[in-house]
Amino acid sequence: EDKVVQSPLSLVVHEGDTVTLNCSYEVTNFRSLLWYKQEKKAPTFLFMLTSSGIEKKSGRLSSILDKKELSSILNITATQTGDSAIYLCAVGLNAGGTSYGKLTFGQGTILTVHP
Amino acid sequence: DTGVSQDPRHKITKRGQNVTFRCDPISEHNRLYWYRQTLGQGPEFLTYFQNEAQLEKSRLLSDRFSAERPKGSFSTLEIQRTEQGDSAMYLCASSLRAGTSTSGNTEAFFGQGTRLTVV
């Protein structure tokens, strides 16, 4: 059975701290790994990673995939209270040589940033 | 707003009643997915459509659940004879199938969800 595991499950930091969130996976026919941020509503897309070792950056957020270790990390530098959210990792699979849309999600990391 | 739209946002129903949710995907997206999320968990896959064809259903989707996407645009998810265990957030997402996007992007975009409470 495909499995995605995130750690830590929750994290409390102060503004300005740097955090690293982890995601590991055991799936067949890996295609991509995605990170989402979920506040009180829908998950919003952050990054999609398909190639190992290539960092993706967006402002204070960055992420990298390690296919050898079957894992990814999401870094947030200079955290702000607005970064408080659940961060979800998901893995997309290949099927028959084409992208298979189903995503398998981890349980999420709850990040709380105090002023 | 050109994002994924879900209706209603909240639904409270009595056990045993039937409920139906609607999802309108991003207009050019040919794939549509339904997920269910309970408190403290990540979303769990329920089913997905490519155009009007339902290509996969999760084991989570009992025979009380049915989903349709009749014209390959909006989709409905119906739950018959609701049970308290059906209480959850029902999320819809849409994406482009790989090979149909000129940008190569196939990530899924989520709607705001329908929160179902069965009392």
| Bigger pLDDT: B19 vs A31 | B19
CB–CB contact B98 A43 (8 Å): no
The residue among A88, A78, A82, A12 whose CA lies nearest residue A44 is A88
Strand boundaries in chain B, DSSP class E? 5-7, 10-13, 19-24, 31-37, 44-50, 53-57, 65-68, 75-79, 88-95, 109-110, 114-118
- How confident is the model at residue A103, as a pLDDT? 87
Nearest CA in chain A to B49: A101
Residues of chain B under the 50 pLDDT cut: 101-103
H/E run at residue A114: strand A109-114
**Is residue A112 scored above 90 in pLDDT?**
yes
- How confident is the model at residue A107, as a pLDDT? 95
- How confident is the model at residue A85, as a pLDDT? 97
Contacts of B56 in chain A (CB under 8 A): 102
Contacts of A103 in chain B (CB under 8 A): 33, 35, 43, 45, 108
CB A83 within 8 A of CB A112: no
Q: What is the DSSP letter of B50?
A: E
